[in-house]
Amino acid sequence: SEGSTAAADPAFADCGRVACELAAQGRITEAHLHIAASPLSEAARTMLHKQCADATLECDTFAEGLVVKPTSEGRWGVFATRDFKSQDCILQEMAVVPWSWFDFSDPERLEALIAELRTEEGRAKTARLNGMVPRSVPEIPHAVPILRELEGNVRATHPDLEGEELQELMRVLAVVVLNAHEDGCHGFGSLFNSHCTPNVEVRGWIHMDVYCLRDIAAGEELCISYRAHGELDMAVDWRRFRFAQKWGELCTCPRCQRELRELGVEDPDDVA
């Protein structure tokens, strides 16, 4: 069978070993991206994603049939490799770190994070965020007002922070701002892209519980919505404007592209 053939491949075993080691350290996103970047077949990578999730204490439910691969836009995305039914639960995952950007809008909490990053235990904790976007400081979208404000607060209160130490702090803050659900940053859950007509949604608290909103066919990308409640009913120009305000870039989901074409917009990248 295809599964037994994949399991007999030394590359399969090596990739799985590294991914499971990363997952056991809590570096969950990094583990899944290691699998995604492997030269293995999609079927083999699907199997390894499940093995990796099974080795992860934070993950309670991980449906067989999920694979991470590049989207047509060149970013990572989560895809179905089998059919799913409406209301299927495909993922239940605890936060890798229990932080949200709301925590760091509090000066005392920000001060505590800076102190924590200067300890070995703190550096080990933030290593769990490896693999989550942005993966380096140059990728931080400086247009995001939250990050600008946080960086300004850091520079004003800690002029001694510079070089690699400042870069690492800003990486952590950016990862939290751009990836956190209400209850923290999630490993595999950080890989879902946004869509203005999502086919899966996040439910629950403490756990990231991801459920299918409709029947999903093998090959479809699984997308959540990054938007606040009610924003999906806005006109396309307002949706994209609000998205850019929060995430530093225009929404490029197929729904936005289609609605812009219907309005006769020739260059969607120029419209916010």
The radius of gyration of the chain's CA atoms, rounded to the nearest angstrom, is 19
Query: CB atoms < 10 A from the CB of 166, how many?
Result: 17
Instruction: State the angle between helix axes of 28-36 and 42-54 in degrees (0 to 180), rounded to the nearest 10.
Output: 160
Domain 2-96+186-224 has CATH 2.170.270.10: yes
pLDDT of residue 6: 62
Query: Which stretches of the chain drop beneath a pLDDT of 50?
Result: 143
Cα 61 to Cα 28: distance, rounded to the nearest angstrom = 14
Q: Hey, what amino acid is at 75?
A: R
pLDDT of residue 150: 85
pLDDT of residue 98: 84
pLDDT of residue 8: 66
pLDDT of residue 141: 60
pLDDT of residue 140: 61
User: How is the chain split into domains, by residue range?
Assistant: 2-96+186-224, 101-179, 234-270
Question: Across the beta sheet with 59-62, what order do the strands follow?
Answer: 59-62, 89-94, 207-212, 200-203
Cα 83 to Cα 65: distance, rounded to the nearest angstrom = 8
The answer to whether 90 and 211 have CB atoms below 8 angstroms apart is yes
**pTM, whole model, 2 decimals?**
0.86
In a 3-state reduction of DSSP, which class is residue 122?
Answer: helix
pLDDT of residue 136: 56
Cα 121 to Cα 124: distance, rounded to the nearest angstrom = 5
List, for residues 201-252, the tens digit of each pLDDT value: 998 776 889 999 999 999 999 999 987 778 888 999 889 888 887 777 788 8
